[in-house]
Structure 1
Amino acid sequence: MDKWLIRESENKKLQQVLIMALVMMSIIPIHNNNNNNSGEGTAIDKGEGRASVPTAVVGLPNNECETQELHELEITNNNSDNLMVVENLIDDELGHCSPSKRLKVHANIKQKSAQHTIRLSKFCNSWLKEPEFAKWLAKSKRQKKGHEYALCKICNCDIIAHRNDIRRHSVSEKHKYNYNTIVNATQDTNFLTVDDSIKRAELKLCSLLASNNISFLFMDTLCPLMSDIFPDSKIASSIAMKRTKATTVLKENLASVFKNELYEIVAKPGQFFSLIMDETTDRATKKQCAFTIIYFCEKSNKVVTKFFDMIEMNGSNASELYKCLKQVIVEKNIPFSNLVGFSSDTTNVMFGEHNSVYTLLKSDLPNVVCVKCSCHMIHLAASKACKILPRSVEDLLRNVGSHFNRSSGRTERFKEFQEFFNTEIHKILLPAMTRWLSMKQCVDRILEQYDPLEAYFREEVFRDPSKTTEEILDTFSNKFTRMYLEFMSYILGLLTEFNKLFQFEVPMFHKLKSESQLLLNTLSSNYIKSDFLRNMNVFDLDHKNPNIFCSLDNIYLGIAANESLAELKQNASEKDISIFFKKLSTILY
């Protein structure tokens, strides 16, 4: 019986020593069996590896914060100093025990220390609602070995996510000084955030630049000017934005937001859309391809057209272009099957019969609708028809424009002739190489300045003769050149007005048939007998049937051309007039 009591007392002694060792090693918190919540803890600080070790009894948690603090105990398992203290304590307390018993206790403590899971400091969101922390505390993005940190927005520093550490920082001299400085500088309770009205104004200014194609350098002048003009406006005086910030806000913030919103809309199943694809035609070394999307917006309840994307290309053949088309859709997680319409210019690489973007797209999406660019087709029709005209007329437009282009001396000398003939001081335009309808403005300008130009080139040939200036003068001296230009102005004017129908920002499908019918009626009435036009639908007319054509004398060339022709008939030979009508009839027929 005595041996049993001695062994029982030794076991209790070993348990007490083991518990004391675990406490000193900061491995486990001790809970009072009597649920006494009045115990206090002692913090042992050792830098970042500090461990909060309770030396008295800690009660069970009663709320979220107390539960959080139990999880906030930072434990260091590899603390050699604590381990040495524990071993010395065991040797002192168990000196009367056998060596094997003491070794067993040492091994048990080391095993429990190695197996114990480290408790990490976690940020408690309820701290943000407490009055003493709400104004300046936030959760930090910093983490170290799984431990979370709190952020002081006033001092801009991180604090370990522990209530005592946060309170200790709040009463520090540094925090008090920074807090008082901000409070004295402004009475705004929201001093930590930028006013939403100022943000809104800055974003709208950036949107203004983008929507109106204004240079970012304009912001260097606009913002100081607004502050000076509106001194009583808090918003205008608080805007701090120049070209660098405006560029960053537009590219990094607004652009990404708008694009992501668009991509989310068209990525929905059943949200069908069409794409317009066009590659750049400039002289840059890098080729780019722009995409415009057309889809039905449920929010606005209408069909909208928006910029989709612009990417750089390595090549310009059909396979490379189709690869870019597919990539620009798939990489945004948009179902390729949502594409139901495709449009582009009428080049062979886009709409060729055998190997083109059109054929590759049809192989993957048989039901996709492919429509050629209407504007481009109108340009091609005008360009092909005007090839019947004498080559000298088109050369005249280009050579005259090139003669005055980037030459201030020639422009100044030509002003003298403009003043002498009492014409408007207008610049001579250079026609675009890729758009034939741009000839309309050039033709009108040449007709406006016809007499001053003819006189100018007469002097230019005498002063500095060259082959180009002599050809220009010969064309101006031709009696029929003015009539050709007047006829071109009339015909190109009809096509230009029809082309504007396809440049509206809103759909104009309801006007397409009526406008097409009006254009065909106008063109047909110039050379087809009126009886056939009154009795038949213009869409059913055989425009190549010579039996319904008017005679050459009755062909309508426009008001200006007909007046010039009436004057010319008195001075020109019938042979020249007949040749003129035959060339024009080739265009109309």
Structure 2
Amino acid sequence: MATPTKKKKKYVCKFQDGWKKEFQFIQDSSKGKGYAACTFCSSDFSIEHGGRTDVVAHERSEKHKSAATTQRSQPSIMGHLEGVTYAEAKMAMLIAASNVPASFAEVFNKSVKDMFPDSEIARQYANGTTEATQTVKGAIAPELDKEAMEVIDTGCVCHLVQLAAGCGIQALRQPIEDILSSIYAHFDISAKRCEISNEFVEFADSETLKTLRDCATRWLSLLTCINRVLSQWDALHAHFASHEDAEEPGQVNMLAEHLTSKKTKFFFLFLSQALKPLADFNVMFQAEGVLVGVVRAHQEMTRLVKRFMGRFLPSVLVADVPLKDIEFKDASLQLADGELFLGGAAQNLLEDNMDELSSSVPTMIKAVRDFFVAVTTKMMTAFPLDNIVLQNLTV
């Protein structure tokens, strides 16, 4: 009886990660370990038989050589730009990267000719607000999308927090932003008014500080403006209450009434504390060590949302409970009026002026509750809390 011959075992080569350093054009293939993906040719080829030899063979093929030549000749985003066009595109990119208002382009446009009088590029430079905005949106952004296909766009969390704060201010139904802008406008147009105001500042023993303007492109500048007004509240009240137009209908009269109102001051004091967690969150994501903040993005967003929930919900409903399972809009689960977070200064003002404010307290507390619900709702819907990538990032 003939002895059966043994079947030779077939060995198959598999993709090795070390090849990526030697051949920078290859990546793992979606077809499996027996293939390699060529980024130049945008194709997959088998390496099962020869392994590294198959990679070398592909590299020497006419198809790959042609693709490699084309790839190397492709200009970068800025590579094909020259002279004035390059300068304008570069400035647009710097504005976008530095989170500077696009209106700065207009200021720089007017100054660059004086700064560099001998430069022909400076004389021809004409990149205003509109041009800078369109350069970023219409030219640079699409090219970046092409070159960074693996980048996941989760939106700007600082912008999302700004939007959440705006929803909260709207829910308060108080003219906070109108008061701030009116105070700024009143002093911005007159040096004489500033001199008169300084006299009241000295009389009220306050620190002389410049009036600030709330700016939508400066994340949560609203909090800084509120704190500045609070620091000079007595001096501002004295200025507008004694103004010659205080009794006449108009801006001065409106400001005099609001700065006299304990109700208005209550909301300013409340916001000075309520907006602080949002401002702290934004500062963290705009710091120099932003990489750590990005890696902890999901953790920090979750912490911020729960921190806000804890100001109008019992802690037992918030701690160790997934965000999606918290019924924060259910009024029956929320804290009682007397337990809501108001901030120490706002709470003291309310207690010290209860006789004057007693009829307004229910609507004031409801506004505070609406503020917390509105901010939380916006964060829950706008934050990329379901993003799997963010959830799994670790330091």
TM-score, structure 1 as length reference: 0.40
With CA pairs under 8 Å and 6+ residues apart, which has the higher RCO, 1 or 2?
2
In the alignment, does 2:373 pair up with 1:552?
no
3-state secondary structure, aligned to 2:355: coil
Displacement, 1:488? 1.1
Cα distance change on mapping 1:314 and 1:584 into 2, 3 Å = closer
CA contact (8 A) 2:106 2:129 kept: no
What is the aligned partner in structure 1 of residue 372 from structure 2?
Answer: 588
Q: How far apart, in 1, do the equivalents of 2:268 and 2:227 lie? A: 8
| Cross-structure match for 1:100 | none
Partner Cα distance (1:583, 1:451) in 2 = 25
Q: Does 1:577 align with 2:364?
A: no
State the distance in 1 between where 2:130 and 2:300 align. 41
Equivalences for 1:250-269 in 2 at 5 Å? none
- Bigger radius of gyration, 1 or 2? 1
Aligned to 2:102: 281
Query: Can you list the C-alpha shifts for 1:322-364, whole angstroms capped at 9, x where unaligned?
Result: 44445x66xxxxxx854135xxxxxxxxxxxxxxxxxxxxxxx
Structure holding more helix per residue = 2
2:321 is aligned, of 527, 533, 536, to 536
**Corresponding residue for 1:370?**
153
Give the root-mean-square deviation of aligned CA atoms: 3.8
Structure 1 position 560, deviation (Å) = 1.3
Distance 1:582 1:456, change over 3 A: same
Question: C-alpha separation between the residues in 1 aligned to 2:192 and 2:168?
Answer: 36
The range that moved more, 531-540 or 391-400, is 531-540
Pairing partner for 1:562 from 316, 323, 347: 347
Unaligned runs of 5+ in 2: 1-81, 91-95, 110-126, 374-395
Report the alpha carbon displacement of residue 485 of structure 1 after superposing the two structures with TM: 0.3
Structure 1 runs not aligned, ≥5 long: 1-250, 260-274, 289-310, 330-335, 342-367
Contact 1:280 1:287 in 2 (8 A): no
Shift of residue 318, structure 1, vs aligned partner: 8.8
| Structure 2 residue 297 is matched with structure 1 residue 523 | no
Structure 1 CA distance, aligned partners of 2:204 and 2:136?
56
Q: How far does residue 430 in structure 1 lie from its aligned partner after superposition?
A: 1.8
Percent sequence identity is: 23
Offset of 1:517 from its aligned partner?
Answer: 3.5
Secondary structure, in 3 states, of the residue corresponding to 1:378? Answer: helix
Q: Hey, what does 2:266 align to over in structure 1?
A: 483
Q: Pick from 412, 418, 424: which aligns with 2:201?
A: 418
SS in 2 for 1:585: helix
- Displacement of 1:553 in angstroms is 1.9
- In structure 2, C-alpha distance between the alignment counterparts of 1:276 and 1:417, rounded to whole Å: 42
CA contact (8 A) 1:405 1:430 kept: no
CA distance in 1 between partners of 2:266 and 2:313 (Å): 21
Query: C-alpha displacement at 1:399, in angstroms?
Result: 0.5
Compared CA separation, residues 478 and 433, structure 1 to 2 (3 A): same
**454 and 492 in structure 1: CA distance in 2 versus 1, 3 angstrom threshold:** same
Corresponding position: 1:493 with 2:314 = no
Sort the Cα spacing of 1:467 and 1:585 in 2 relative to 1 into closer, same or farther, 3 A: same
Distance 2:229 2:99 in 1: 32
Cα separation, 2, equivalents of 1:419 and 1:548: 49
Q: Distance in 1 between matches of 2:98 and 2:228?
A: 34
| Gap change, CA 1:510 and 1:547, over 3 Å in 2 | same
Provide the secondary structure at the position in 1 that maps to 2:153.
strand
In structure 2, how many angstroms separate the alpha carbons of the residues matched to 1:448 and 1:559?
16
Q: How many aligned residue pairs are there?
A: 265
Give the superposition deviation at 1:278.
Answer: 7.8
Partners of 1:427 and 1:280 in 2: CA distance: 21
Aligned to 2:148: 339
Alpha carbons 2:106, 2:128 under 8 Å: kept = no
Greater strand share, structure number: 1
Q: Write the letter of the residue equivalent to 1:460.
A: H
Normalised TM-score (structure 2) = 0.58
Deviations 1:483-516 (A, max 9, x none): 1001111122110100112112330234334433
Deviation string 1:465-496 (CA, Å, 9 cap, x unpaired) is: 56110011111122211110011111221101
Change (3 A) 1:482 1:320: closer
